[in-house]
Structure 1
Amino acid sequence: MIKFFRRIRQQLLKENNLSKYLLYAIGEIVLVVIGILIALQINNWNQENKESLVEKQR
């Protein structure tokens, strides 16, 4: 997967098409941010489940 993205990035740089490269870079950043937000949401969900289990045991 990393080779795929690297190939796209190198091809866009070879073509000297800066606008397409910037659009690609912004898209890649957005995907990373979305992944981080999903991970945080899952972490919060797991933490809430643990807290509810502790409350039920009391």
Structure 2
Amino acid sequence: MIKFFRKIRQNMLNEGKTGKYFKYAIGEIMLVVIGILIALSINTWNENRKIRQSEQEILQNLK
């Protein structure tokens, strides 16, 4: 997959299509940012789930 993107990038730069290359680069950066945001939201969701689970265990022990 990395070779595929590297080949596209090199072809665009060699052909002198800098405008098209910048659009490609911005799109690639956006994909990385979206991936990071999804990973952070999944991590937060998982942490909240663990906290709720421990709260339920504490309430059961108090009962």
Gapped runs of 5+ residues in structure 1? none
Greater relative contact order (Cα 8 A, min sep 6): structure 1 or 2? Answer: 1
Runs of 4+ in 1 over 6 A off after TM superposition: none
User: TM-score, normalized by length of structure 1?
Assistant: 0.97
Gapped runs of 5+ residues in structure 2? 59-63
User: TM-score, normalized by length of structure 2?
Assistant: 0.90
Residue-pair matches, total = 58
1:33 matched residue in structure 2: 33
Show CA shifts across 1:8-54 (max 9, x none). 00000011111000000000000000000000010001001100011
Q: CA RMSD in A?
A: 0.4
Following the alignment from structure 2 to structure 1, what is the Cα–Cα distance between the partners of residues 9 and 50? 43
